[in-house]
């Protein structure tokens, strides 16, 4: 298998890679798979530091709070701080504050860890009770989902409550012999039951997921590489934002899918290891 695939000429690719000042990293399927860190991840992060390239962790998976994500990364030996982390629970909180500034009570279909992120931000998580009326509904990647809470979410959605989804992913990558049904599939179930799609769906491929990084570090979009394992979230967001999209083949997407996609990713590599080597070669 080739080291990389790109629709650009060698000179065009080199020019684009030389511009990169920051790498936004998807997590599951990119730096680890399930609970297992890829063997090249720590070397890749160290290489970026040597090259003076910054990095952030950007994930569509809101099932863990920022504190729990940091604990997971630290357990794997990944040096990370909260300022380097951004997930769709945080993005959803920001959007609710902007679009529904008076909203306080939320019916949240999500894990206890994620709900903590919302309550720490000042929201009240309503009970599975028709008398505990929320101002809005939030549906997320709920790995603790119960049938009763699915039905309650459908009820409030059918009552025309503002409806937010944290991410559009249909499945979550895993190295286990199972299919992890993600938020997009849960929203499809709720749409079948209520006739409603979410009013706002956060996360990749929405280009606003990169805005915080651009503003924080004073970057132009073409100075950021978005690395991930999915075309319909990671790479599509990179294209939507004008960033450089790097597809890694360590997660969901297979090479034949990447090559058949129109447009192709800006760069398709076997893993972050090859991408790191390419960044160093052009410097």
In tens, the pLDDT along 196-250 reads: 999 999 988 988 888 878 988 999 999 999 999 999 889 999 999 999 999 999 9
Helix, strand, coil shares of the chain, percent, nearest 5, are: 45, 20, 40
Backbone conformation region of residue 111, classed left if phi is above 0, alpha if psi is from -120 to 50, else beta: beta
The β-bridge partners of 180 are 172
Q: In what order do the strands lie in the sheet with 85-87?
A: 4-5, 267-269, 244-248, 224-228, 22-25, 54-59, 85-87
Residue 145: left (phi > 0), alpha (psi -120 to 50), or beta?
beta
Report the pLDDT value the prediction gives residue 211, as an integer from 0 to 100: 81
Report the pLDDT value the prediction gives residue 229, as an integer from 0 to 100: 94
Domains by residue range for the chain, with CATH: 4-60+204-281 (3.40.50.1000), 89-201 (3.40.50.1000)
Please report the pLDDT score of residue 11 as a whole number.
Answer: 97
**Looking at the whole model, is its pTM more than 0.75?**
yes
Contact between residue 153 and residue 139 where contact means Cβ atoms under 8 Å apart: yes
Cβ atoms of residues 205 and 227 within 8 Å: no
């Amino acid at each position: 298998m080739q080291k990389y695939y790109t629709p650009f000429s060698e000179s065009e690719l080199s020019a684009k890679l030389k511009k990169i000042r920051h790498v936004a990293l998807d997590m599951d399927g990119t730096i680890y798979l399930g609970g297992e860190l890829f063997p090249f991840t720590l070397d890749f992060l160290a290489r970026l530091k040597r090259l003076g390239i910054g990095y952030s962790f950007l994930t569509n998976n809101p099932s863990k709070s920022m504190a729990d994500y940091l604990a997971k990364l630290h357990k794997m030996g990944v040096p990370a701080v909260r300022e380097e982390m951004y997930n769709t629970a945080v993005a959803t909180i920001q959007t609710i504050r902007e679009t529904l500034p008076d909203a306080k009570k939320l019916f949240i279909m999500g894990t206890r860890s994620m709900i903590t992120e919302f309550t720490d931000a000042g929201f009240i998580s309503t009970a599975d009770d028709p008398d505990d009326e929320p101002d809005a509904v939030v549906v997320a990647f709920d790995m603790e989902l119960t049938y009763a809470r699915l039905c309650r979410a459908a009820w409030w959605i059918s009552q025309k409550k503002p409806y937010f989804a944290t991410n559009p992913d249909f499945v979550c990558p895993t190295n286990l012999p199972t299919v992890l049904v993600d938020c997009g599939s849960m929203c499809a179930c709720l749409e079948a039951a209520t006739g409603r799609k979410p009013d706002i769906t956060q996360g990749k491929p929405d280009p606003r997921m990169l805005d915080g990084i651009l503003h924080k570090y004073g970057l132009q979009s073409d100075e950021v590489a978005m690395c991930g394992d999915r075309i319909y979230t990671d790479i599509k967001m990179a294209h939507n934002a004008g960033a450089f999209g790097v597809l890694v083949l360590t997660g969901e997407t297979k090479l034949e899918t990447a090559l058949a996609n129109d447009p192709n990713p800006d760069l398709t590599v076997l893993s972050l290891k090859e991408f790191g080597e390419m960044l160093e070669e052009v410097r």
